[in-house]
Structure 1
């Protein structure tokens, strides 16, 4: 696991991602099913979240990665402490 945002960003840009940012989510936030015009690779660094794609839900905690191709419908729910993740995007 990268030790800093800068190391995550450097690695992601070297992999070909074109945008890297930190997302901070408020406690108990829930996002209904939606999709994005970009692919993502993200690392949870604080809190917890649940990512639902189709009938499968992943419970993600600090140190865990998730990836989504662009256009994939998904829902997100964040825990009682909220969540922070570093995300690399590859815009379509």
Structure 2
């Protein structure tokens, strides 16, 4: 998916404007976020591990992560750059 189509899809769903995130090679241990994340990978790659199941996302791939889902993140040798729309969870 390209950036313009991704942004249009977010707009159609009423989701916030995406922000650019850059991470260096490495990893982040298990954690969760208080928001829903919809992301488009621009460069590099990221592997998300949820309940022991790992999925790698590469440029053009999109992932969706619900709020409060425990996961870990691993960034490829060149790191990762992605656009992400974050929607705060309702309590």
* The one of 45, 48, 71 aligned to 1:74: 71
Map of 2:23 onto structure 1 = 25
How many matched pairs? 89
Deviations 1:21-73, CA, capped at 9 Å, x for gaps: 111111x2210000000011111110011110111000111111111110000
Tell whether 2:53 aligns with 1:37: no
For 1:1-92, what aligned pairs fall within 5 Å after superposition?
1-2=1-2, 4=3, 8-26=6-24, 28-92=25-89
Q: TM-score, normalised by structure 1?
A: 0.86
Unaligned runs of 5+ in 1: none
Runs of 4+ in 1 over 4 A off after TM superposition: none
Unaligned runs of 5+ in 2: none
TM-aligned CA distance change 1:8 to 1:66, over 3 Å? same
Q: TM-score, normalised by structure 2?
A: 0.86
- Alignment RMSD, CA only? 1.5
